[in-house]
Structure 1
Amino acid sequence: MRLLILAWLLPLAVLSPEAMARACNAGVVFEDTDGDGRRDRGEPALAGVQVSDGRRIVRTDALGRWSLPPSPDHTVFVIKPASHRFPSGADGLPVFWRHVVRSRQPALRYGGLPRQATRCHDFALLPGAVAAAEPLEVLVFGDPQPRTAIDVDYYARDIVAPIVGAARGAPAADLGLTLGDVVSDDLSLYPAMTRHTASLRTPWLHAAGNHDLDFDAAGDERSLDTFRRHFGPDTFAWEEAHASFIVLDDVIYQPGAARPYVGGLREDQFAFLAAYLDGLPRDRRLVLAAHIPFFDEPGRETFRRADRERLFALLKPFTRVLLLTAHGHVQRHHRHGPADGWSGAEPLHEYNVGAACGGYWSGLKDADGIPDSRMSDGTPNGYASARFDADGGYALRWHVARGGDVAMHLHAPKVLRAGAYPGVGVYANVYMGEPDSRVEYRVNGGDWRAMRLSDQPDPALRTRNLLDDAAGQLRSYDRLPEAVETTHLWRGALPTDLGPGDYLVEVRAFDRWRGEIRASTSYRLETAAP
């Protein structure tokens, strides 16, 4: 038997590198009906499944076979068909990719992507998927970004544990996305983060962020090697009955430049996008998930305009597109139009998701020992969810960490002088608000009056900034970020001509997806002598 095995291995050992690449850049996709990870007798091959090396896409033939052109270093992955699901690996993440690294790699601090033995690639898929008639429930985490093991513990207790508890042993969602900055530069924290995320029992996908880079890499090409070792390809597609999800690395690393990174896309990513989008119906729901927003920050190009216009040209034929990004540690919506290079029939919606770590796990700790962590626009830290319906529609929601159903907060004075000039207001920070949102208030059950959109920083956060400024010693390990202008703050003037007494202030806002939401506060009017 040993002689037979050696006789079989010998021809492979003497193959040229090109022949070896060709021999092992092929495989079979099959349905693993018993879930043991091996193709057993009677387990069917799967035809028509898409397999890619990140640039080219091929489909399996009637026998489930696929092959790609030879390449010395690459990652091969399966584009999950809506009809099946992937098995989970030992780390709890879906197994849909294999690395082939034949060349010697430069040493990187966090391990990079070391040389791996050449191996052929058979991929197992499991039967069963989310029923098309049922909504697809997706969890979306922006910027968990722990710097230390202490921050990892905050992530586990503040974000993950409440979701696990609410799920009561069931999968927390049908799919999960982390939109980059899985960690904050210390890539050795990846295993701990994955262990906590895997407890959600949900197929989880990761986009790369600027804090996920190997900063000791010589250039952009190898700057995500450690990320890829843990999470697989940096650009790929994943299909459910309700939508096609495209995860993109949109961080261009520029070592030595004035700006170490900029938003943009590579040539191989455009090749992959063109190949993948070409085979989709134009009314298919597309969800693009990335880290850096596709819009620019005021006064500077944060995403390369030429790349954005090229991407938007590929997306223009599609009538149902949603963009999900993170990075800014604020909560906002952007509707792309001609000024951004989008020329579709309707504005292109980008939801720039707030951060799981909020203001970088900063601020005073609560009774559970978890920092306040609100973001610079005043939004409390947390996570988003998205629901995709069979008809292509979607609904978005922000969940405050351990915050129940809170959707906005109010800020108002506790006491004013009766008869004073009515120059003081109540402010409503509506976390999912947009400029056209309807926000109204009333005092003591009176008529509802419109509040106006304000360009001020969130006053509740500004108050905490001032307390930090005035303190003679540190109030917390890290203070909360400075309050900045928010896109979802409304103001209404408080009346002072109602006579002394206590007055109830109610605010209602009309969320695009949830409908009416409410909050209330109160203030008191007192008489005073000059």
Structure 2
Amino acid sequence: MKKVILVGGMLLLSLGAEAQSSVTGYVFEDANGNGKRERREQGVAGVAVTNGREVVLTDKQGRYLLPVGKDNIISLIKPSGYRVPLNAQNQPQFYYIHKPNGSPELKYKGVAPTGKLPKSVDFAVVPAEEKESFTTLLFGDPQPYNLQEVDYFARGIVAELEGVQGVAFGLSLGDLVGDDLTLFNPYIRAVQRVGIPWYNLQGNHDLDFDAPADSLSDETYEAHFGPANYAFNYGKVHFIVLDDVLYPDPRDGKGYWGGFREDQLDFVENNLKHVPKDHLVVLAFHIPISEPEGDPFRDADRQRLFDLLRDFPHTLSLSAHTHLQKHDFFTREQGWRQDKPHHHYNAGTTSGDWYSGRLDEKGVPESTMRDGTPKGYAFLRFEGNKYVIDYKAAGQPQEYQIELFAPKVVAQGRNTSAGIYANFFMGSRQDTVLYRVDSGEWKPMSYQEDYDPAFMGKLHEWDYAEEIMAGRRPSNAVRSTHLWRGSIPTRLEVGEHTIEVKATDMFGRTFTQKGTYRIEAPKAVQ
């Protein structure tokens, strides 16, 4: 009898410990749409659920069991063929925040105490038709520093996308705001107007800067957007969203550094165990994993990430942060573990060059970026495990993909150091750009990393102005990674001549742009 009592006591202790150190619940089909699991609603088997590190699959009844501590966000990894509920602001609801004591006391309010775990933390899903051909929308760095800049973002970007059709969801690639976290809600209200489900990720200007550790730097972000690290599926694409801002910088405790904590990479590793190898894996973070200036990313973290992806032949990674547009292709020499290079797209931004430049007819800064890329956003179009990327310059027609620059007039028959320049916004070194004059022979333009002369002209407007201009002077130019040059023919008849440029991108698509210049007889020197 004593033995039975002892065993029973051990069982009770075990159950008590489980109740304190684990979380359980169900993923279920929400037939009536009320968000609550009811007796007749079926569980969904084989769905991944995570505590931010471990990842488990639901059993035949749709139940999961996960370890939990005092600071976890339990989140569903949405399976293909299902949708999750949205709140009134079009934010997907796929997580439960467990912070019994709430966030630590910081400048901005984080998560209020959540108290004791519910007996069952359940996640509602609804069957939905998800075609393997779909489109998503990408925003880089909205980054308003005040309410006026939220308004610029709303009128300059969001307004032309309100009611957009044929887009499954959107994703902002960090720097949702500019250091002032009270702007999270105005940002959310602005993006809500697009009218589609909207995901977010954390940037270096979205942090709790008074946090004593990196694991606590996302408290206010979590209160508004949920987990900073999560994943979901759509069609044959698996999306992994990660916070890659280490703050404070582990090297000296000052500023930030690009990289991941061990628990984040453990999450990626555990998550990828449940992803089919023939699916496209799209990773999204804020700081690019390339190193365009100095040492902005911890090499060991990038290498472990590459090691985890070694058996996935279809991959793409996305970032923003630089307020430039750039493509990188990682090879075995850079630590990639496959023969086919890994494509990393550093997207242009919706704030452009931080809301600088001339004001347009709506009173919104044109904000061309320092490499000559106009502010805008990108459409990521999927077909199974394949993709193409389209960049859309704000306020311009979709076909505007090249900015053409040439002198307005040159002297007939005289050699000139002036040239024809084509800034192909989505271009990279591996692309082909041709040009011709007056329907003549197509000739290759030479790729060069240089300052975009059209952007330099915008700077000169400010520097040579004799009166104060409305708005703010743009930042100084940086070398563009998508610029081509051709010589300008001068041995033609006097009059106007037509320039045509033809660019073929990495996806095999061709874009064109036209311009003109004038030839005049040389003026005699007196």
TM-score past 0.5 threshold: yes
Amino acid of the structure 1 residue aligned with 2:441: D
Mapping of residues 353-502 of structure 1, within 5 Å: 353-390=347-384, 392-405=385-398, 406-502=400-496
Supply the distance in 1 between the matched residues of 2:107 and 2:173 (Cα, whole angstroms): 23
Q: Tell me the secondary structure at the aligned position of residue 161 of structure 2.
A: helix
**Larger CA deviation: 278-287 vs 226-235:** 278-287
SS class of match (1:210)? coil
Q: Is the 8 A contact 1:28 1:65 kept in 2?
A: yes
Superposed CA RMSD: 2.0
1:419, distance to aligned residue in structure 2 (A): 1.9
What are the residue-to-residue correspondences of 1:12-411 with 2, within 5 Å?
A: 20-22=19-21, 25-103=23-101, 105-120=103-118, 121-132=121-132, 135-165=133-163, 167=164, 170=165, 173-254=167-248, 257=252, 260-298=255-293, 300-390=294-384, 392-405=385-398, 406-411=400-405
Cα distance per residue 1:71-111 (max 9 Å; x no partner)? 12210000001021101113320100111112354222221
In 2, the alpha carbon distance for the partners of 1:164 and 1:103 equals: 39
The alpha-carbon deviation at position 467 of structure 1 amounts to 2.2
Q: Is the 8 A contact 2:51 2:68 kept in 1?
A: no
Letter in 1 for 2:55: I
Is contact 2:359–2:471 with CA below 8 Å preserved after alignment? no
Distance of 1:289 and 1:377 partners within structure 2: 22
Q: Distance in 2 between matches of 1:41 and 1:224?
A: 37
CA distance in 2, matches of 1:513, 1:96: 34
How far apart, CA to CA, are the structure 2 residues paired with 1:31 and 1:258? 46
Aligned partners of 2:222 and 2:253: how far apart in 1? 26
Alpha-carbon deviation of 1:499? 3.0
Letter in 2 for 1:427: Y
Residue 514 of structure 2 is aligned to residue 517 of structure 1: no
Distance 1:440 1:515 in 2: 14
Rounded Cα–Cα distance in structure 1 between residues aligned with 2:90 and 2:243: 22
Q: Which amino acid letter does the alignment assign opposite residue 474 of structure 2?
A: L
Q: Is the 8 A contact 2:130 2:234 kept in 1?
A: yes
* Matched residue count: 508
Consecutive unaligned residues in structure 2, runs of 5 or more = 1-13
Q: How far apart are the structure 2 equivalents of 1:154 and 1:75?
A: 33
Q: How far off is 1:341 after superposition?
A: 1.3
The corresponding residue for 1:9 is: none
Check conservation: 1:138, 1:385, Cα contact below 8 A. yes
CA contact (8 A) 1:295 1:340 kept: no
Distance 1:430 1:265 in 2: 33
Deviations 1:458-492 (A, max 9, x none): 11111121222223443233211211100101111
Question: Where does residue 5 of structure 1 map in the other structure?
Answer: none
Distance 1:357 1:471 in 2: 24
Q: CA deviation at 1:18?
A: 5.1
Instruction: Sort the Cα spacing of 1:16 and 1:476 in 2 relative to 1 into closer, same or farther, 3 A.
Output: farther
Give yes or no for contact 1:57–1:272 (8 Å, CA) kept in 2.
yes
Say if 2:331 and 2:339, in contact at 8 Å, map to a contact too.
Answer: no
Distance in structure 1 (CA, Å) of the matches to 2:78 and 2:327:
29
Asked if the contact 1:84/1:128 (under 8 Å) is kept, the reply is yes
Q: Please tell me the residue identity of whatever aligns with 1:21.
A: Q
Distance 1:514 1:339 in 2: 26
Percent identity between matched residues is 39
Matched letter for residue 398 of structure 1: Y
Deviations 1:286-336, CA, capped at 9 Å, x for gaps: 0001110011124x2111011111110111111001011111111110000
Select 1:508's aligned residue among 478, 488, 502.
Answer: 502
Letter of the structure 2 residue corresponding to residue 397 of structure 1: D
Query: One-letter code of the match for 2:94?
Result: F
TM-score w.r.t. the length of structure 2 is 0.93
Q: Which consecutive residues of structure 1, in runs of 5 or more, have no partner in the other structure?
A: 1-14
| Letter matched to residue 126 of structure 2 | L
Question: C-alpha distance in 2, partners of 1:158/1:18?
Answer: 54
Cα distance, 1:516 vs structure 2: 1.6
For the residue of structure 2 that corresponds to 1:228, the secondary structure is helix
Q: Distance in 2 between matches of 1:258 and 1:26?
A: 37
Question: Contact 1:136 / 1:242 at 8 angstroms: preserved in 2?
Answer: no
Asked whether the equivalents of residues 181 and 206 of structure 2 are also in contact (C-alpha less than 8 Å), the reply is yes
Counterpart Cα distance in 1 of 2:353 and 2:516? 28
TM-score (norm 1): 0.92
Residue type at the aligned position of 1:126: V
